[in-house]
Chain A
Amino acid sequence: MVASLRRLGLIGMAITAGVLLLVGGIAVAAVDAQLRSDAATAAVTLTAEERRQLEEAGIPESVGTDTGYFRRSLIMENLSSGGDMPERAFEIHEMEDGNVSISWGGYRAEYTVISWGGWQLQPIGIPAFTGLALIIGAVFAGAARWQSRHPLARN
């Protein structure tokens, strides 16, 4: 193990560690994105009881479109704000006269907003960035060690 590491050299080890960090960081970010998508999907998915209520009220057709739109909104708000993903993105109200209505976006009242400033650095992206920086740094070290083979050249 130690002998193989010595054979790699400092630059080789840095590149290897960088590739591992980059691939691992992208994998972790992909898993995080998948979890965020699943949470958003769960937040906009109607339960069987809610779907029955809406069918009785005659508004099931518009729910599908709203689901896709709010799912995307939930993901982007979560990305840009850094807050938590709400468990439910809508509320179904049953009036006294028997009418049923659904309201989207009620979660925003209790939404934890860290920043609405657009893109922000998330901790999940740091491993991939560190791996990329290691690879680039190793290539810079290789550039510093490089010597020209020209007979008249001096580095």
Chain B
Amino acid sequence: MDRAGFDPRYSPEFQRGFDPAVHEEIAAPTEQHEHVQPRPITPVPEPIMRRIPPAPVDAAEGSEQSATAGADDMFRPAESPDQERSDEEAAPVVPASPWRNPYLVALSVAGLVLIAGGVGGFRWSLKQVFSGAVYGSGASEGGMPEAMIAAQLAWGLSPLLALAGVLTLLGVFFFVAWRWSPQRRFVDDDSGAAPPGNQSD
């Protein structure tokens, strides 16, 4: 049977000129509606939970709040416990300045003292020996052996002291470079935590 004359978009029995006796065969297949595939269930949206606004401190302040303030809070997504925990971990923890380390300060001072002592001791030993200061400084013949022993010790150990001082200062600089952090300013006991926006590093 020809289905011409009927709009294929609609069922024939509801169109003009349809005769159930004549067009029964045409109408029959139309009764077998195609099974509509169920649409997949859309994911459940985030639950909208009302966030309890903080209690107004002052009645006047409470009255000055906008009328939509409660609604704004109400439609904010609820905070999960994990998010709260991450907020706690993101507390303003800043690295301490290496120069607050008393060991490092002591090492820096010791390095400078070792260099100065080593250079000074070596110069003193040279003066004692080559310029004849063992006699010239008024030392007696009996005190000369002690002065010569001290001069020998200074001659032998002073350059090693200066070398140790140089290596100590180098170590201090390496230590500071190791602990240096470009992200945050260092904490100072007097000023407290530095504001995050005041980063100059």
A122 within 8 A of B: yes
Which secondary structure characterizes the binding site on chain A?
helix
Complex Cα–Cα for A119 and B96 (A):
43
The distance from the CB of B62 to the nearest CB of chain A, in whole angstroms, is: 34
**A-contacting 9-mer, from B15-23, B41-49, B79-87, B126-134:** B126-134
Inter-subunit contact A153/B95 (CB<8 Å)? yes
Chain B residues closer than 8 Å to A128, beta-carbon distance: 157, 160
* B100 (CB) vs chain A CBs: closest residue: A148
Indicate which residue in A33, A72, A122, A146 contacts B149 across the interface (CB closer than 8 Å): A33
CB closest chain-A residue, reference B163: A129
Closest residue of B by beta carbon distance from A124: B156
Interface residues contributed by chain A, number (CB under 8 Å)? 37
> Smallest distance from the beta carbon of A37 to chain B beta carbons, Å?
5
Stretch at the interface among A87-95, A109-117, A132-140: A132-140
Name the interface residues of B138-192: CB closer than 8 Å to any CB of A: 141, 144-145, 148-149, 152-153, 155-157, 159-161, 163-164, 167-168, 171, 175, 179, 187, 189, 192
Contact A152 B103, beta carbon cutoff 8 Å: no
Q: Is the interface of B mostly helix, strand, loop or mixed?
A: helix
- What is the number of residues of chain B that contact chain A, defined by CB distance less than 8 Å? 44
Residue of B nearest to A76 (CB): B129
Are A155 and B95 in touch, CB under 8 angstroms? yes
Q: Does A79 contact B (CB under 8 A)?
A: yes
Does A144 sit within 8 A of B, measured CB to CB? Answer: yes
B175 and A37 contacting across the interface, CB-CB below 8 Å: no
Interface residues of chain A, those whose CB is within 8 Å of chain B, are: 26, 29-30, 32-34, 36-37, 41, 68-69, 72, 75-76, 79, 119, 121-122, 124-125, 128-129, 132-133, 136, 139-140, 142-144, 146, 148, 150, 152-155
In the complex, besides A75-B148, A150-B96, 9 extra interface pairs with C-beta distance below 8 angstroms are A29-B152, A37-B145, A37-B148, A76-B155, A136-B164, A139-B107, A150-B189, A153-B187, A154-B96
Please name 16 pairs of A and B residues whose Cβ atoms are closer than 8 Å in the assembled complex, sorted by A: A33-B156, A34-B145, A68-B135, A68-B141, A72-B132, A76-B155, A125-B160, A132-B164, A133-B167, A136-B107, A136-B171, A139-B110, A150-B187, A152-B187, A153-B94, A153-B96
